[in-house]
Amino acid sequence: MIKKILVIHGPNLNLLGEREPGIYGSNGIDMLNKNIIERAKEQGLECEIFQSNHEGAIIDKLHAARQKFEGVIINAGAYTHYSYAIRDAISAIKIPCIEVHISNVFARDEFRKNSVIAPVCKGSISGFGFGSYYLAIMALSEM
Ligand code: DQA
C-alpha cells in the first residue's frame, strides 16, 4: 500500500504565479504545495515536495526516492520532452510514477506533444491546472 509519496516540480515551476499566468495561472508554488500536502493528508498519504531547475538534481532525488517513497508525482517541465536521463531514472527506480502537467501539453506547441517519460510512467495527467497534481494524488491513493 502506498503511504509516502514524493512530488517533484521541475524547471521553471518555481516561477508559478509570475510565469505566463495566462497558461499556468496566477497562483504561486507555495499555494500549490500547501494544497498538495492537504490533499495528500486527506488521502492518508505523507508527502514530500521537491523543486529543482537542474536535471541532475532531479535524477539524484529520484534515485534517493527508492528507499523512502512508494509513489512519485513528477512535473518534469520542459525535461518531459527530451530528457532520456530522467526517463531512465524513473525506469530504474521501479516506483510507480505519475506524470503531471498544469497546461494541456497537447493543445500547445508541437514539441510539447511528445513526452519521453510517459512510456515509463504509470499514467499521465495534463491540462487541469493545479488540479492535475490533485488528480495524481487520488490516482496514487487508489493503487
Ligand atoms: C509543463 C508543460 C511543459 O511543456 C513546460 O515546459 C513546463 C510546464 C506544465 O506543467 O504544463 O515547464 O510541464
- Rounded CA gap, 66 and 64, in Å? 5
What's the mean pLDDT when you consider all of the chain?
A: 97
For ligand 1, residues with CB inside 6 Å are 12, 75, 77-78, 80, 101-103, 105, 112
Does residue 31 sit in helix, strand or coil?
A: helix
Q: Residue 100: which residues within 8 A CB-CB, separation 6 or more? A: 73, 74, 75, 124, 125, 126, 132, 133, 135, 136
Q: Is the dihedral of CA 85, 10, 99, 113 positive or negative?
A: negative
The atom of ligand 1 lying closest to the CA of 101 is: 10
| pTM given for the model | 0.96
pLDDT per residue as tens digits for the range 8-26: 999 999 999 999 999 999 9
pLDDT per residue as tens digits for the range 69-123: 999 999 999 999 999 999 999 999 989 999 999 999 999 999 999 999 999 999 9
Residue to probe by mutation, ligand 1, list 9, 15, 103, 126, most atoms within 8 Å of CB = 103
Q: Does 101 participate in catalysis according to the annotation?
A: yes
